Amino acid sequence: MTTTPETNTIPEAPAMPAHASVATLPEGVSLPLPQQNLSFEQEREVRKQELAAAFRLFARFGFSEGVAGHITARDPENPSAFWVNPFGMSFRQISVSDLILVDHDGTLLEGRRPVNNAAFCIHSEVHRARPDAVAAAHTHSVHGKAFSSLGVPLQPITQDACAFYEDHGIYSDYRGVVNDTEEGRRIGVALGDGKAVVLRNHGLLTVGSSVAEAAWYFITMERSCQAQLLAMAAGEPHLIDPDTARMVRDQISGALPGWFQFRPLWDQITAEEPDLFQ
């Protein structure tokens, strides 16, 4: 990593990402926080490292399905281009150096392998529709696929599901493998200003102001879909009332909570698979 750590970073923590500093709490307890005011090069390094880590974690969670699935990160210097996994490469093997850079016209700017056309068609339009979104994640995870077939929103039946209450859309116009940017544009419209969208008969898509945030919301949304499917199979789930659901959403979700909840997974994967930095 090329970033020079600030004076308040923890020197004995080699797995600390390039953009993490430490906030000192009144009792002397410290927590990592996103570092601010990075150069383009430093921010690019951060995003690519988190992207590679996210792919490794998605593989561990079983979110991969053949060549399907992609996570993208907008380039900080060229926001009309994004970093993405190369077509046909296992999530389990992706390292920083494997990532490719593609612009919104589908032109390969950096990398040795082609882009998945569906990734370009979906993500280019999602990034275009949401300039605030640094990253977007979409895979064919099992419970996300199953839940998407219902064509219904996630219900506030658990604390974790409240993160998505009134903050995700449904795209109901499945027309096969996404091969044109017009469908990507319609997905962007269905996403709106939310953190996620359920793609009926297809799966889930989440966005975030960091790769960590987008990846975390995909992981927890997939698990919330699993919880709702289990609850519905067992009976009639009891819903959390709207006011409480909104309050909990505001307590547990957002850019910083999403980034922070990804930290334990980051620590685990970078300690166990440091080759992802290659």
> What per-residue confidence (pLDDT) applies to 24?
53
Kindly give, in sequence order, each residue whose CB lies less than 8 Å from that of residue 227, ignoring residues fewer than 6 positions away. 157, 158, 160, 161
Pairwise CA distance, residues 32 & 25, whole Å: 11
Q: What is the pLDDT of residue 177?
A: 73
Hunting for tokens 């027309």 — which residue is that?
A: 175
Q: Per-residue pLDDT for 12 more than 50? A: no
Question: 272: buried, middle or exposed (CB in 10 Å: 19+, 13-18, 0-12)?
Answer: exposed
Tokens encoding 3: 């970033």
Of the two residues 113 and 76, the one the predictor is more confident about is 76
Distances (CA, A) of 86 to 100, 110, 118, 125, 265: 6, 11, 12, 18, 23
Q: Is the pLDDT of residue 62 over 50?
A: yes
| pLDDT of 13 strictly over 90 | no
Looking at residue 180, its pLDDT comes to 75
Residue 6 has pLDDT above 90, yes or no: no
Question: To the nearest whole percent, how much of the chain has pLDDT over 90?
Answer: 76
Q: pLDDT category, 10, cuts 50, 70, 90?
A: very low
Q: What is the mean pLDDT of residues 39-58?
A: 98
Of 127, 122, 125, give the one whose Cα is nearest residue 139: 122
pLDDT band with cut points at 50, 70 and 90 for residue 25? low
pLDDT digits (tens, 9 = 90+) for 125-179: 999 999 999 999 999 999 999 999 999 999 999 999 999 999 999 999 887 777 7
What does the pLDDT read at residue 199?
A: 96
Q: Which residue has the higher pLDDT, 127 or 18?
A: 127
CA distance 101 to 147: 32
Residue 119: predicted pLDDT: 77
| Range with lowest mean pLDDT among 30-39, 96-105, 171-180 | 171-180
Range in 36-45, 106-115, 145-154 the model is least confident about: 106-115
Cβ atoms 157, 232 nearer than 8 A: no
For the segment 215-244, the average pLDDT, to the nearest whole number, is 98
What is the per-residue pLDDT for 42?
A: 97
Taking 50 as the threshold, does the pLDDT of residue 5 lie above it? no
Do 59 and 90 contact (CB within 8 A), yes or no?
yes
Q: Is 155 in contact with 183 (CB distance < 8 Å)?
A: no
DSSP 230: H
Mean pLDDT of 92-121: 90
Range of lowest pLDDT (39-43, 180-184, 195-199): 180-184
| Mean pLDDT of the chain, nearest integer | 89
What pLDDT does 181 receive?
83
**The dihedral of CA 107, 111, 117, 121: what is its sign?**
negative
pLDDT at 17: 41
Element (H, E) at 160: none
Ramachandran angles phi, psi of 134, nearest 5°: -75, -35
CA distance 258 to 57: 16
pLDDT at 157: 98
- Does the pLDDT of residue 106 top 90, yes or no? no
- Is 260 in contact with 176 (CB distance < 8 Å)? no
- More reliable by pLDDT, 259 or 27: 259
